[in-house]
Structure 1
Amino acid sequence: MEKYSEAEWEHLRKRFFSSILNDTEIAKLGQNVGISWPFKGSDETPAKYIDFTFEELRDVPGLVGKQKRIHLLMDILRETLAFDDPFSDMVDTVESESEVDDTFERILAKLQIPTNFPAKFVHFTQDTNDLLESEDLQTLVEVIHFGQRLAQNVVVGGDLKSFLNGLAHKDEVGIAKHIPYRRGERGVHLAEAIGLIAIELSEPIQLELLSQSGVQLTDEEEAIRAKASKLTIDGSIKRAIEKVSDVCQWFTSESSDLEQIFSTGGSPERFFINMNQPKLERIAVALARIKFGALEQRKGFFGKIFGR
C-alpha cells in the first residue's frame, strides 16, 4: 500500500502554489525538518515538482523508479507546511475563520522584535513601499498580516516574499535586510536603522560621505563620486537626515545616548560597531554626525560637501 495518495499530493501542490517557500531549496527545507534530500542546487525547489501530477512524478528525472524519493519529497513538503510555513492549513483540526494565525507574532516575540515597530521603517523597494502605503499600514505586524492575506490569493514575489520567508525561517541575515535587527543579539536598534538608511543611498552619495569623513578613495571611486551633482548630493543627504530624525523619534533612549556621545566628544564609531560592516559604519557615522555633531562639526561637514 502506498504511503501517500494522489489526493494528498494534490493538497500539497495547492498549498505550495501560494507558499513563500515555493522557491526555497528542498535540501534546506529538509534540513529544517530533519529530513535529508539527495539533490542540491538552486533549481531543486518545490516549484520544480509541483507542476506535475502524482502520476507524472514517476517520470521526473531522479524520481523514475524511486517511489521512496517521491515519498521523501512529500514528507519534506508536508512537514515544512506543518511546521515552517505560516500559511499552512495542514492541521488536524479545522480552525475557525475568525481565529488569527499568530505564527509570526510568536516569531517576533522570540526575536524580541516589537510588533508595533513602524511600517514606514521597514525597508522595501519603491514598488512594495507604494503598495504598502496604499493599504495605509502603520505597524510591522500589519505589514506581515497583509503579506499573509496576499499570499493566500496570489503568489507573493520580490522583497516582501523575501522578508516573510526570512522571518518564517528566523534567518537573521534576511531579516536584517529589511528591519534594523541586530544579528546575534536580537531586537531592533538605532545603529542598524541608520545603517539601513545609509544602504539606500546611491553609491556616489555614499562615497561622498566617506570622502568627507576622511576615507581615502581610489581613482575609480573618485570618478563615481564625481558623477553626483551638488544638487543631487544636497537633496539626497537632506532626505536621509530627515529619515534619521524620524527613526530617532522611535529609538528615543538610543538616540539620547548617541547625542551624548557627540556632545561629550566620545567615539560614535563604537556606537555602530555591532553592525560589523566597516564601510557602512563610516557612512552611518557620517549621517549621525550631521544629525548630532557639534555645530562647528556640522557646519564643517556640510561646508566640505556642498562647497565642492
Structure 2
Amino acid sequence: MASFNIACLLIIFSLTIHQTSSLSSEYYSKTCPKAEEAVTEAVKAATANDPTVPAALLRMHFHDCFIRGCDGSVLLKSNGNNKAEKDGPPNISLHAFYVIDNAKKSLEYMCPGVVSCADILALAARDAVVLSGGPTWEVPKGRKDGRISKASETTQLPAPTFNLSQLQQSFSQRGLSVEDLVALSGGHTLGFSHCSSFQNRIHNFDSINDVDPTLNPSFASSLRSVCPMHNKVKNAGSTMDSTSTTFDNIYYKLLLQGKSLFSSDQSLLSHPKTKALVSLFASSHDAFSQAFVKSMIKMSSLNGGQEVRLDCKVVN
C-alpha cells in the first residue's frame, strides 16, 4: 500500500511539473489578446450586483483544482445517468457559475474555440481576490478542459472536519506543501459557511464537552444562537471572518483568538510548524499575500484536461 501511494504521488508530481512548464502567462497574447479583460469585465459586473460573487469564484476554483486538477470539470452539468461534480454534496452550495458562462460567451464571440473554461475560472479566481482588495498575479494560462465530472469524486475534497494529518495528506497528494496548506486556508477570509460545516464544534463535540473547548466561549455562544441543535432555517450560518468580503489576514488573527469556524481551521494550530505560519500571516499581511499568490499559482497549475469546451456546461 505504501509503495502504491508513493507511485501515485510521483505520477501527480510529474503531472504537476509537466503542466506547469506548458502553461504561460503569454499563452493568448496572439490568439486572444483581450481574454483577461473579458473575464475581468464579467467578474466586475457580477460583483457589482452581488458582493458574494468573489468568495464563490475563489471557492469554485479550489473545488475544481482538487478533483482531476484545474480542468473546469466542476462547471459541467449532470447528464443522463452521470451525476456531475457540481451536484456532489460538498458542491451543492457553490454558486455564480453564470459568471463563467458570461465570460465564455464574450470570449466565444471574440475568439471562438480558443480560451478554455479552466483558464477562465483560474482568471476569475484571481480577479475575485483583486476585487476584494487582495493581491494580483500573472495567471499562467493554457489549461485544457476535462471531459469527466463525477459527483462521487467530490469525497476527495478536504472536509471542514479534517484534522491536520488528513489535510496534509490531501494537499500532498496534489503536490502541495504544508506552507501551501496554511496559505491557501487563508482563502477562508472570504465568504459564508452554513451551520452544517461547523455543527460538530458547537453541539455534542465529544463525550465530555458539548462545545469544542478550543473555541472562544463568547464566539461559540454566538454560533450556537445562530445554529441551534435542531436548526430549521435553511440558509443559517456565519461569515468566515469579520470582514467576509475583504481579502485580508483577519482570518489568521481570529484563528489565534479561537474564533475560527471549522475543525480544519483549528487544526492549523495543532503543530508548531503550521502554528508558526498562522502567527506569521496574522502579523504580516504582506507575508500572507506573497505566500497566497505563490501557492495559488502552484495549485492552479495542476491540470489534466483534453479540449477547449465551446460551452462550459457540456463537453464538445
Instruction: Tell me the TM-score range normalised by the shorter chain.
Output: under 0.3
Q: TM-score, normalised by structure 2?
A: 0.24
- Higher helix residue share: 1
Structure scoring higher RCO (CA < 8 A, sep ≥ 6) equals: 2
> Is the radius of gyration larger for structure 1 or structure 2?
1
